[in-house]
Structure 1
């Protein structure tokens, strides 16, 4: 599983716009991109204008396909002029637990 996590800081007056755009990106990606496995929006516990996106994909190629897709583009068309980010927090492949012998 290939996972990424990023953060965004948004102006207080655009908070709901960001939430709507991120949730729509997630809904559409999960419904129409076969390699998308998880797409979670998390609001920071201490800063109401900071958000985290946690996403999981079958592999890096599925993430790359997401980045080339229409939902990703629409999200950045909506938030790109006023959201600060993405700031990369993690990007990599899950390490599976060993199989018992």
Structure 2
């Protein structure tokens, strides 16, 4: 399993566009990609313009397949409009110590 944690800061005035674009990407990922196990989009408690994405894939090949989809391409075209530069992507390994 591969997990990816992404932190994003949404530009002022772009929250509606961002939430529509990321919701489409997340929903399509889970619905159409066999290797996408989970795709959560969560606003932080302190700032409704700050988001964390938590994605889980069966393996590196599934993550690569995700990045080759049409819905991911649409997301990457839109992200620059909605998200402040400096987003962070942390891809974590395959070992799960505890899952609740």
TM range (shorter): 0.7 to 0.9
- Superposition RMSD in Å: 1.5
In structure 1, the gaps of 5 or more residues are none
In structure 2, the gaps of 5 or more residues are none
- 1:47 offset after TM fit, Å? 1.4
- 1:92 offset after TM fit, Å? 1.9
Q: Partners in 1 of 2:47 and 2:91 — Cα distance?
A: 23
Aligned partner of residue 11 in structure 1, secondary structure: coil
Moved over 2 A (4+): none
- 1:67 offset after TM fit, Å? 0.9
TM-score, L = length of structure 1: 0.85
Decide which structure has greater strand share: 1
Aligned to 2:9: 9
Aligned to 2:23: 23
| Number of aligned residues | 96
TM-score, L = length of structure 2: 0.86
Aligned to 1:47: 47
Aligned to 1:87: 88
- 1:38 offset after TM fit, Å? 0.3
